[in-house]
Amino acid sequence: MSNIATLEIDGKKYEFPVVVGTENEVAIDIEKLRGETGAITLDPGYKNSGSCQSAITFLDGEQGILRYRGYSIEDLASKSNFLEVSYLLIFGELPTAAELEKFENTIRKYTLVHEEMKNIIDGFPKTAHPMGVLASLTSALTAFNPKSVNVANDKEMYEAVCKTMGKFLVIATWTYRKAMGYPLNYYDNTKGYVENFMQLMFALPTGPYKPNPVVVDALDKLFILHADHEQNCSTSTVRMVGSSHAGLFASISAGVSALWGPLHGGANQAVLEMLEEIQKDGGDADKYLAKAKDKNDPFRLMGFGHRVYKNFDPRAKIIKKAADDVLSSLGVEDPVLNIAKKLEESALQDEYFKSRNLYPNVDFYSGIIYRAMGIPTEMFTVLFAIGRLPGWIAQWKEMRVNKEPIGRPRQVYVGEPHREFKPADKR
């Protein structure tokens, strides 16, 4: 592979360096392109553009490979746990037992959310979507933790990481408690992180609460699978907002808003709503596959397709197996799971989907597990956000520690050329 790329514009040749990554990904470094040629590149949706060099997550869409800091998602999902994977993503190495204990105990230092935050959540109607409430509450955390983190100071950065991990989980569950009209719960520092998610969500003051260990284990695995995914829409948003040196809470809040969209993290909610619609309409999967293929029909097969994976999303494979295990262990018979399997089976044999490399993605099966766990549909994307939080933190930290420049893309102007101002009576 040559380390130089040559570009010819108007008969003039220009050379640009070629960057090759650890996994032999090749990029043309165009940092000097506009200065030397006057031209810029155009790439709607950044399908062909790299925004950064990152050491956090590697994915290969053609091979269906996903690794966090070099460890395969299959290994981490089966052998690790969510807090350990969070530490790995953020600090770059799997923690020793002592490091993991210190991490968990430092998070526990910050699990009390300022009581006045309750005044903010009380301002929302019960019908507000939890993702909108979560984005607002996350940004509001800045008001109660105004000191910006000095990213060059490892201790300050460590504390800010643990504060974010601690407080985000609590406020994420408050969005559900608010919608249900339940009192807001507190983190229990005697319990684990994922077990706390369940008690924060479902414990009621009227009696004891013990989460089902099968559910806690499955959730821990699901959070691992959602923890990072290189430069996806919401992570790129977190990096972009953070590149202006906006704070960590403000940047994460922007990431929550980006994740909310049905083409991104909101797809897990959209999948369940789609499956329920198919079920209500008689369960005819083939009818909906035809709709998804019809260019005149806006219907899309939610949970299918991916910007990068042109093969199976490795996370979808793991979640599909987990769905079977969790439902059988909980003794839940969910007809939408059978509709999902029928949709997948038909789509994988259908020319339209095969020719476009459309496979089930991470969102296709996750909602089915969440529903079996008693999680309400509108909370599905909040769970995605809880899982993705360590990835957002890791990517924000990498961008700031590497002193990357403020993000500011260019454009090609296609509007009106210069024209003289006309007074109102001349228009």
Give me the residues paired with residue 140 across strands: none
Q: 305 to 334, contacts with ligand SDX by CB under 6 A?
A: 305-308
Site string for ligand SDX, 331-370 (x = CB under 6 A): -------------------------x-x--xxx-------
Answer yes or no whether residue 304 interacts with ligand SDX by CB under 6 A. yes
CB of 224 to ligand SDX, least distance (A): 12
How far apart, in Å, are the Cα atoms of 422 and each of 58, 323, 418, 419, 426?
55, 65, 13, 9, 6
Any idea how long the chain is? 427
Q: Is 129 helix (H, G, I), strand (E, B) or coil?
A: coil
- Contact in structure between 80 and 69 (CB atoms under 8 Å): no
**112-135: burial string, b at 16+ Cβ within 10 Å, e else:** ebeeebeebbeebeeebbbbebbb
Query: Which residue stretch of 13-21, 190-198, 299-307, 393-401 sits at the interface with ligand SDX (rule: CB under 6 A)?
Result: 299-307
Helix axes 193-202, 82-91, angle to 10 degrees: 120
Q: What are phi and psi of 71, to 5 degrees?
A: -90, 135
Residues whose CB falls within 8 Å of the CB of residue 416, separated by 6 or more in sequence, listed in order: none
Answer yes or no whether residue 196 interacts with ligand SDX by CB under 6 A. no
Residues whose CB falls within 8 Å of the CB of residue 386, separated by 6 or more in sequence, listed in order: 168, 169, 172, 197, 223, 226
Q: Which member of 267, 327, 372, 382 binds ligand SDX (CB under 6 A)? A: 267
Q: Which member of 76, 248, 292, 340 binds ligand SDX (CB under 6 A)? A: 292
Q: In terms of CB distance, is 142 or 377 closer to ligand SDX?
A: 377
Number of residues binding to ligand SDX, judged by CB under 6 A: 22
Answer yes or no whether residue 396 interacts with ligand SDX by CB under 6 A. no
- Per the residue annotation, which of 226, 228, 306, 313 is the catalytic one? 306
Query: Which residue stretch of 125-133, 189-197, 216-224, 296-304 sits at the interface with ligand SDX (rule: CB under 6 A)?
Result: 296-304
Answer yes or no whether residue 263 interacts with ligand SDX by CB under 6 A. yes
E strands in 10-114: 12-20, 26-28, 57-60, 65-68, 71-72
Answer yes or no whether residue 239 interacts with ligand SDX by CB under 6 A. no
- Per the residue annotation, which of 220, 228, 313, 363 is the catalytic one? 363
Please say if 245 is a catalytic residue: no
Q: 8 to 37, contacts with ligand SDX by CB under 6 A?
A: none
Please say if 229 is a catalytic residue: no
Residues in contact with ligand SDX by the rule CB under 6 A: 45, 229, 232, 263-265, 267, 292, 300-308, 356, 358, 361-363
Name the residues annotated as catalytic: 306, 363
